[in-house]
Structure 1
Amino acid sequence: MKTASAQPASHGSSDFWRVGSKTEVVLPARLHHPDVLAIQAAGAAKFSAERKHPVHIVDLPTKTLNMTIGGLLPSQTTSRHRHNYETVIYVIEGKGITTIEDRTVEWQAGDAVYIPVWAWHHHTNASASENCLYIACENAALLQNLGGIALREEAGD
Structure 2
Amino acid sequence: MLKKESATCMNETDQSEQKQFSSKDFHQTYARPNYVKASHIIHKNVESTGVHNQFSTERKQPVFFIDLPSKNISMNIAGLLPGQKTHLHRHTYETLLYIVEGKGWTKVEDEIVEWEAGDAVYIPSWAWHQHQNLSETEPAKYIACENAPQLQNLGVALREEQGRDF
Matched, 1:54 2:91: no
Deviation of the 1:20 alpha carbon: 7.3
- 1:138 matched to which residue of 2? 146
- TM-score (ref. length: structure 2): 0.78
Summarize the Cα distance change of 1:133–1:11 in structure 2 as closer, same or farther, 3 Å threshold. same
- Secondary structure in structure 2 of the residue aligned to 1:50: helix
Question: Of 19, 22, 40, which aligns to 2:50?
Answer: 40
- 2:92 matched to which residue of 1? 84
Partners of 1:38 and 1:23 in 2: CA distance:
35
Structure with max Cα Rg:
2
Question: Of 145, 149, 153, which aligns to 2:156?
Answer: 149
Deviating beyond 2 angstroms after TM superposition, the runs of 4 or more aligned structure 1 residues are 9-12, 15-24
- 2:118 matched to which residue of 1? 110
- 1:74 matched to which residue of 2? 82
Contiguous gaps of at least 5 residues in structure 2: 8-17, 22-28
Tell me which protein shows more strand as a share of its residues.
Answer: 1
Partners of 1:142 and 1:129 in 2: CA distance:
37
- Secondary structure in structure 1 of the residue aligned to 2:49: coil
Partners of 2:141 and 2:30 in 1: CA distance:
42
Deviation of the 1:66 alpha carbon: 0.5
1:83–1:151 Cα contact (<8 Å) kept: yes
1:53–1:78 Cα contact (<8 Å) kept: no
1:79–1:122 Cα contact (<8 Å) kept: yes
Partners of 1:54 and 1:149 in 2: CA distance:
26
Question: Of 36, 46, 49, which aligns to 1:26?
Answer: 36
Partners of 1:86 and 1:24 in 2: CA distance:
26
Deviation of the 1:123 alpha carbon: 0.7
Moved more, 90-99 or 49-58: 49-58
Q: Tell me the number of residue pairs that the alignment of Structure 1 and Structure 2 aligns.
A: 144
Letter in 1 for 2:75: M
Deviation of the 1:16 alpha carbon: 7.8
Tell me which protein shows more helix as a share of its residues.
Answer: 2
1:92–1:135 Cα contact (<8 Å) kept: yes
| Identity across matched positions, percent | 51
Partners of 1:10 and 1:136 in 2: CA distance:
34
